[in-house]
Amino acid sequence: MGEDLNYYVDFRADFKRPASLEEPAGEELARLLEEGLPAHGIPALKVKDGNFSYFVECLSGTSKIELMLGLVDPVDDDCYRWLVLPCAKRNFFGRKDYPESDYRQLLFAIDKTLQGCDRVEDIRWFPGFETQEYLSLMPPSPGPLRDPQLDERVHPLVRFDRRVNRITHTVLSPLGLILGIIFWVSLGVMSPSLAGYLFLSMLGLFVGIPIVLSFLIRSAARRATE
């Protein structure tokens, strides 16, 4: 379809908060989706409570997709902003994606369900789950479709972080890095000691760059709200 989708939504609602952090959050939200999604073509197959959140398993097209529900900040007693996020299925080789058409149908059904509830307000859609500091540097979308013009207003640090993530998840992925080093060692181009040094150096970059960027993004978010 050639359309970029937003996979994360949060909003304000006066749903009941759990009595403690040991109880899962989102029971009323789970019931809202369980009853509302079928009206928009998405059967809700199962509702279950986990250790910290409620989950709703849905059937969208040919895919069974699980939604994670919860509070944006469960520690803050004054927080009544809730979130809905499709959970990615993972296997040995990484993330297993569902067909985009199935995601699209589900995301629009979620949006219509939330829009139809008079207890829900200030609905914000984002490309994916991030910290609130990160999201504060991004303009939210009003619905599941991403507006390319909004991407132009994203903070430069966030744009840089996205580019780094694309690089680290391909070039510097641990599996790819290990296989690449084994290949060069097997050809005799690289000694085992040099390969070990290179591996540790690249692994340090893989871990260190996101940490530095996270610190810079938090600092920029604090300055933006002052």
Are 206 and 103 members of one domain?
Answer: no
Are 175 and 97 members of one domain?
Answer: no
Are 16 and 109 members of one domain?
Answer: yes
Are 104 and 169 members of one domain?
Answer: no
Distance of CA 219 to CAs 82, 157, 224, Å? Answer: 24, 11, 9
Are 141 and 180 members of one domain?
Answer: no
pLDDT at 196: 67
Query: Range of 116's domain?
Result: 8-153
Residue 144, token pair as written in the block: 């599941």
Q: Nearest Cα to 127, choosing from 137, 119, 117?
A: 137
Residue 2 lies in a domain: no
pLDDT at 93: 44
Distance CA 62, CA 86 (A): 15
pLDDT at 92: 43
pLDDT at 4: 85
Are 74 and 180 members of one domain?
Answer: no
Q: Phi first, then psi: what are they for 83, rounded to 5°?
A: -135, 155
The residue with tokens 């599941």 is: 144
pLDDT at 195: 64
Residue 216, token pair as written in the block: 């810079």
Q: Give the predicted TM-score (pTM) of the model.
A: 0.70
pLDDT at 21: 81
Residue 180, token pair as written in the block: 């690449």
Q: Nearest Cα to 52, choosing from 10, 83, 31?
A: 83
pLDDT at 94: 45
Residue 194 lies in a domain: yes
pLDDT in tens, the chain (226 residues): 457 888 999 999 999 998 888 899 999 999 999 999 999 999 999 999 888 899 999 999 999 999 999 998 877 778 889 999 998 665 444 455 678 899 999 999 999 999 999 999 999 998 877 766 656 677 888 999 988 777 677 667 666 666 666 555 555 555 556 666 666 566 666 677 776 666 666 666 666 666 665 666 556 555 654 5
